[in-house]
């Protein structure tokens, strides 16, 4: 198995993309939407990670005890997980997955006083995460490529 995350939008509400999982024949078996923190120079716990090639390894999410995949070999970083969540408030430098994109009312961590407002989000995240882990059943490691999409490349 291998995966590719194509980022297609750098917004005030985070970096959005699509995560494709491919089988050994290089056929896509799953596509999910993703959300990451803004690009802030690869600073741990607040930034998305640099585009590049990484190895993902099965791990345990220390906050929940849920089995997840960790993106390894990121320069200067560790504990970068692929997990469930909806908005950039749910990530600390990690990647969250969803079945679609939408908007959710949250307390905005990026604005003074943390006002509640609609923020762009990935939605149906737990269903997406369950599909992701089911597709990777029996897999302990896989290669992940992260890059910016060419115009319309990410569309079905």
Whether this model's pTM surpasses 0.75: yes
Q: Tell me the domain boundaries of the chain.
A: 2-148
DSSP secondary structure string, 93-147?
S-EEEESEEEEEEEE-TTSTT--EEEEEEEESHHHHHHHHHHHTTT--EEEEEEE
What does the alpha-carbon distance between residue 156 and residue 146 come to, in Å, rounded to a whole number? 18
Helix (H, G, I), strand (E, B) or coil at 30: strand
Environment class of 24 (CB within 10 Å of its CB; exposed 0-12, middle 13-18, buried 19+): exposed
DSSP state of 45: T
**46 C-beta neighbours (distance < 10 Å), count:** 15
pLDDT digit string (tens) for the chain, length 156 residues = 999 999 999 999 999 999 999 999 999 999 999 999 999 999 999 999 999 999 999 999 888 889 999 999 999 999 999 999 999 999 999 999 999 999 999 988 778 888 899 999 999 999 999 999 999 999 999 999 999 999 888 887
Taking the CA of residue 123 as centre, how many other CA atoms within 13 Å lie in the half-sphere pointing to its CB? 8
What does the alpha-carbon distance between residue 96 and residue 75 come to, in Å, rounded to a whole number? 20
29: left (phi over 0), alpha (psi -120 to 50) or beta: alpha
**82 C-beta neighbours (distance < 10 Å), count:** 25
What does the alpha-carbon distance between residue 127 and residue 60 come to, in Å, rounded to a whole number? 18
């Amino acid at each position: 198995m291998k995966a590719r995350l194509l980022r297609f939008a750098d917004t005030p509400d985070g970096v959005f993309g699509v995560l494709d999982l491919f089988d050994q024949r290089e056929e896509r078996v799953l596509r999910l939407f993703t959300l990451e923190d803004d690009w802030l120079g690869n600073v741990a716990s607040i930034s998305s990670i640099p585009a590049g090639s990484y190895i993902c390894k099965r791990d345990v999410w220390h906050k929940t005890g849920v089995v997840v995949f960790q993106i390894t070999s990121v320069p200067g970083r560790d504990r970068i997980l692929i997990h469930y969540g909806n908005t950039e408030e749910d990530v600390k430098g990690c990647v969250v997955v969803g079945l679609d994109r939408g908007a959710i009312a949250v307390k905005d961590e990026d604005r003074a006083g943390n006002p509640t407002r609609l923020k762009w989000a990935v939605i149906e995240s737990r269903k997406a995460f369950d599909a992701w882990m089911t597709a990777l059943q029996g897999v302990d490691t896989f290669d992940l490529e992260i890059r910016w999409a060419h115009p319309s490349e990410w569309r079905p």
